[in-house]
Structure formats: structure tokens, C-alpha cells
Amino acid sequence: MTLGTETIPAPVIDWAAPFDELVEGAAFTTAQRVITASDVQAFAELTGDHHPLHTDAAWAAAGPFGEQIAHGMLIVSIAVGLVPLDPRRILALRAIRDATFKRPVPLDGAVSVRGRITGLRAVAADAGIVSFQWSVVDDADRLACRAGVDVLWSRDA
């Protein structure tokens, strides 16, 4: 946020706060997590997505990225796990919108999530929808994926 020539940092999200105390523009940054070959193999087994770009080092080396990369949906799933969604507040993940994959994440690459609240909408006496914009960045701080994420957040104090 900019006020005149002075830049004011966005408030940090309090994940334990009730819905009515949240403010649009509040932001967060998570810790990093390394994506390992074991992560990719487990995701391939769980989902049945054994595309050789993810699971075959020789095939991937000759492919468009020159190396094995993590599944895009694995990156989104890890992002959800990195964000500290307080189970006393977050009642449900409601939507992941417009996920756009900008850059591959190689095996042993790390990701973190930067996000901000882009919308707040009361939907019931006891809950509201919090809309976020998430940017999943790699260990060189380059955008790997972005998505809109909506969660159902408790209003009670």
C-alpha cells in the first residue's frame, strides 16, 4: 500500500482471527518446502499420473525442460499444505480458481507461498468467504504458479 511517497506494508494475516476481524489486503508468506523425488513418486502413485516428464529421468532429460519436474497439481497441493490454515477458523476449502503454471519446479527445488486477501464476503451468520490470491514461488523467488483460493472462514469469536 502506498500513501504519498511512503510505502506502508500490508497487515499480516492473523490465521486465528474471526472472519469479521480480517481486512482486505492482509498478506502472508510461508516457509519453503523442498520437492523431493519421493514426493513426486508418491504423488504419481496416489493419482495415477505417471507422465514420464515427472517419473522418468532419462525421458525428462530429453524433454522440453531438460530434467524431471514436479506435477503442477503437486505444487498446488503442497502450497495448500504450506499455508497455515487454522482448523479452528477454516471450515472448508471452497475453490481454487484460475491456477496458472508459469514455471516448472525441478526435483529438489523449493517452493513457498505469498498471498493476500482479495475479498471478504459474509455468507451466513457463522461464516464468510475469504478470497485470496496466491503466488507459489521457487527458491529463486520466481513465480511457479498463481491461483485464486477461496476458503470458508468462521465468524464466531
pLDDT for 24-58, tens place per residue? 999 999 999 999 999 999 999 999 999 999 999 99
Integer CA distances (angstroms), 92 to 28, 66, 68, in order:
19, 38, 33
pTM of the model: 0.91
49 against 157, higher pLDDT: 49
Q: What is the mean pLDDT of the chain?
A: 95
Of all residues in the chain, the percent with pLDDT exceeding 70 is 96
Q: How would you classify the pairing of strands 127-138 and 110-124? A: antiparallel
Q: Is the pLDDT of residue 1 over 60?
A: no
SS3 state of residue 38: helix
Over the range 85-100, which residues count as b (16 or more CB within 10 Å of their CB) and which as e?
eeeebbbeebebeebe
Q: Is the pLDDT of residue 119 over 60?
A: yes
pLDDT for 97-115, tens place per residue? 999 999 999 999 999 999 9
